Copies of this chain bind each other. A is one copy, B any other.
């Protein structure tokens, strides 16, 4: 919708047509756990701009309409009106594919029937309504998948008074963290009352009639009045594939930095596209609203320029990602950027890692709290490869400093001497990330060792 808005605004003579499977446009996917937990009042609070608002601005929006296939030679999209069941063709001059991702449902008995996925706002609203209706009746819930969304949902469900168990086949929560950094997150979840069933593989979801009863893993069985699955999502590339768009090693659509696919006249943006990881150089598919939004704007600039026959604006290129992510789980902020140890090994990068604990406030202040810090740098050069922060207090957004270092190729020798902010409510005279850089300089035998 970012691209659609831009084209609609700067090329008013163009007819901008949007085809959307669901009933909503432009909403905060990341806000859905807050809707489920009741922190956000209702679904429409998460909507940034409704179909009606887009229509009033002059964009043609077909909701509850699914794109089925694309004929790139004839330049038309086959679509299905989901309410009427009727199919038709929508012709185009230029096409943007923004099909997002489809949540994975584990292929085990009962999962498809009993498990909820909460990927779209409509699904979030449905789960919220179900929880509201079950109020008092539902006692137990199992969340399958201990990634960001699974953790946020488990917290939301405990907040609503449910007894929540988090099941994951991995032996830690949050695979994007190293195991030693996932520990404090697991402790925060346990303190909050979430039961962890880690290193357990889902085998079956059992129920009676329409009602879920139990979740069975290879390690146990758990009562479940409700099962929510959040094991990730795969880039939705099927429609673009019918047009012949190439798919990269990550399973997402190949695009150049201007968001152009391999097929003439077709651009793509958002959760369905592949990006370059700027630290490892590897192709990755990172599903995050902040990337989708930037990519949408860049695609919009190029679509508008192409429609008008203009040169594309200078520098309108998506640079890639460094895997920055942040969340707040219970009282604990969790943030990461760049490569973790597993990713560094996979990328074949020689690295050193340091892990230590510090505080987000001066130690002599009350409630100084504790922050676990982990940082990686490249052997030889000292290039910052990644950082992970887990702790209470003002911790999460500090990752942006390390993200900038990762994206710009800053070295720990320089990072340790940057003019970072100091005052007692925010830590010690040496910033936590500067401490990490200093430790890495020593660990790597570089100079100067301050």
A449 touches B45 (CB 8 A): no
Select which of B301, B316, B319, B423 is within 8 A of A396 by beta carbon.
Answer: B423
A430 touches B293 (CB 8 A): yes
Taken residue by residue from 406 to 450, chain A's Cβ proximity to chain B (1 for < 8 Å, 0 otherwise) reads as: 011010011001111111111101110100000000000001111
Select which of B288, B398, B422, B429 is within 8 A of A422 by beta carbon.
Answer: B288
Known: A337-B421, A447-B313, A450-B298. A326 touches B31 (CB 8 A): no
- Find chain B residues with CB under 8 A from A39 CB: 365-366
What's the nearest-Cβ distance from chain B to residue A200, in Å?
A: 27
Is A321 located at the chain interface by the 8 A CB criterion? yes
What's the nearest-Cβ distance from chain B to residue A323, in Å?
A: 7
Is A131 located at the chain interface by the 8 A CB criterion? no
Bound-state CA distance A46–B365 (Å) is 10
Is A294 located at the chain interface by the 8 A CB criterion? yes
B315 touches A448 (CB 8 A): yes
What's the nearest-Cβ distance from chain B to residue A162, in Å?
A: 21
Bound-state CA distance A426–B335 (Å) is 11
- Find chain B residues with CB under 8 A from A221 CB: none
Give chain A interface residues in 277-307, CB to chain B under 8 Å: 278, 288-294, 297-298, 301
Closest B residue to A148 by beta carbon equals B423
A45 touches B364 (CB 8 A): yes
Is A40 located at the chain interface by the 8 A CB criterion? yes
Most chain B CB inside 10 Å of its own CB: which residue of A39, A318, A397: A397
What's the nearest-Cβ distance from chain B to residue A416, in Å?
A: 8
A447 touches B314 (CB 8 A): yes
- Find chain B residues with CB under 8 A from A397 CB: 394, 397-398, 421, 426-427
What's the nearest-Cβ distance from chain B to residue A394, in Å?
A: 4
B396 touches A425 (CB 8 A): yes
Bound-state CA distance A74–B203 (Å) is 84
Is A404 located at the chain interface by the 8 A CB criterion? yes
Select which of B301, B407, B410, B420 is within 8 A of A418 by beta carbon.
Answer: B407
Bound-state CA distance A160–B404 (Å) is 41
What's the nearest-Cβ distance from chain B to residue A212, in Å?
A: 28
What's the nearest-Cβ distance from chain B to residue A106, in Å?
A: 25
Is A405 located at the chain interface by the 8 A CB criterion? yes
Select which of B364, B414, B449 is within 8 A of A40 by beta carbon.
Answer: B364
Select which of B293, B298, B404, B425 is within 8 A of A328 by beta carbon.
Answer: B425
A364 touches B46 (CB 8 A): yes
B365 touches A417 (CB 8 A): no
Bound-state CA distance A296–B397 (Å) is 29
Is A30 located at the chain interface by the 8 A CB criterion? yes
Closest B residue to A46 by beta carbon equals B364
Between-chain CB contacts (< 8 Å), 24 pairs: A289-B429, A290-B420, A290-B431, A301-B450, A313-B447, A315-B413, A318-B417, A319-B417, A324-B421, A328-B423, A328-B426, A394-B396, A394-B397, A396-B423, A397-B421, A397-B426, A397-B427, A400-B400, A400-B418, A400-B420, A400-B431, A404-B405, A404-B410, A404-B418
Which residues on A are within 8 Å of B, measured CB to CB? 28, 30-31, 34, 39-40, 45-46, 148, 278, 288-294, 297-298, 301, 313-328, 333, 335, 337, 362, 364-366, 394, 396-401, 403-405, 407-408, 410, 413-414, 417-427, 429-431, 433, 447-450
Closest 9 CB pairs of A and B: A326-B421, A316-B448, A290-B422, A314-B447, A400-B401, A328-B425, A297-B450, A394-B394, A400-B420
